[in-house]
Amino acid sequence: MTSSAIVGFGSYIPKFRIKTHDIALHWKQDPETLMAGLGVEEKSVPDIGEDSFTLAFEAAQEALETSGIPSSEVSAIFVGSESHPYAVKPTSGMLVSALKLDPYSHAADLEFACKAGTAGVQIIDSLIRSEQARFGIAIGTDTAQSKPGDALEYTAAAGAAALLMGPSTHKGAICRIEKTLSYTTDTPDFWRASDKPYPSHAGRFTGEPGYLGHTRETIQKILRETDTKIEEIGHVILHMPNAKFPMRIAKECGISKSQMEAGFIVPKIGNTYSACSLLGLVSVLQKAKRDERVLLVSYGSGAGCDAFLMTMLKDGVPLPIDARPATYLKYDEYLEHTRALTH
C-alpha cells in the first residue's frame, strides 16, 4: 500500500491583531493575571470581508505554490472549520472552483470542533494509500467566534493552514505520515447550537476530562502503537487553546521545551481553532531536519483527538516571508471586525 506524505503546505493569518492587554482593560480585568493564566499576548482578527473561505484559499494557494504541482492534478479537498461561511453551500466546492482543481474531486466540509482540519488529513491519507487520489488538500480554517466578555474572547482567533498531500514516493515529498489514530468520546465541554452566534462551554470539563484527558491518552496510545519513546521525537505539536494546557501536557509526558518550540505559535496569534495544530505543523515543516520524527496531536471539543507520527524526508522548506506589518486594533475597532462575522 502506498504511504502518503506532505508535498506542499501553506498558511494564512490575517494582519490584524488585538492585544490581550487591551481586551482585559476594556472589561476592567487585570491584564497580568490573564497573561499568567493564558499565556497569550495577542490574537489575530479577520479583516472585514475575510471569512473561512478566503483564509482557506490563501493557505491552499501557497501550498500549491510550494509544491509546484499543477492544481488540475489535485482531485481531493476536505475543509475543516467551525465557521464555514454557509450552513448549506460547501466551502470545499467553492475552493475546487477558485483553486482550479480537478472538477472530478472528492470534496466535503468537515466539522469536529478544533480537530476538523486534521480529520481532513486522515481522509486524504486514506485516499492516497488506497490510490483513489494521487494528490489532495486538507485544510483547517476558522474565524473563531466568542461572546464579548466571555473567557474565550481572549484567545479565539483567525487563520488557515493547508497541507497538499501525495504519495511518499513523489520527488517533492517533504514529510511522510507513518501512523495515525483517533480517540473519541462524548464529553460536553464546548458546544454551539445552530441558531446561536456564540459557543458555550462547561468550565469544569474543559481541562479534565476534556483537553488534558484526551490529549494525554492519545499521546500514550500512539507511542505504544508505534513502539516509540517520546525522546526519539524531534518535534511535538499539540492543539493550543492557550499556552498553559499544552505546556502542562508536555511536562506530564516528558516532552521538552526544545521539542515544543518550533510549533508553539499560540502566544502571538491565539487559538485559530481548526487551523491551530496545523499552523503549528506548518511552522515545524519549515524548520525540521531530514529524518527527524514529528508528532502531531490535535484536539476537538465534544471530544476527540487525532494523532500523527511522521518522518521528515528532507530538510524543512521555508515559506516566503509575510511582508505585511501587523495592524493593532483598539477594542471598538475589534468589535466592528468581529460583528461582521455574526451578522
Cβ–Cβ under 8 Å, residues 266 and 242? yes
- Distance between CA atoms of residues 51 and 342, nearest Å: 11
DSSP 34-62: HHHHH---EEEEPPTT--HHHHHHHHHHH
Q: Which of 114, 175, 276, 305 is catalytic?
A: 114
Grid cell locating 163: 497541507
- 232 flagged as catalytic: no
The C-alpha atoms of residue 34 and residue 50 are separated, in whole angstroms, by 28
Cell of 229: 519513546
User: What are the residues facing 181 on neighbouring strands?
Assistant: 307
82 catalytic? Reply is yes
Tell me which of 50, 82, 153, 292 is the catalytic residue: 82
CB 158 within 8 A of CB 55: yes
Whether 336 is a known active-site residue: answer no
Work out the angle between the directed axes of helices 91-98 and 52-67 (0-180°, nearest 10): 40
Contact in structure between 298 and 279 (CB atoms under 8 Å): no
Q: Which residue has the cell 487525532?
A: 306
84, 170, 239, 337: the catalytic one is 239
Give catalytic residues, as residue numbers: 82, 114, 239
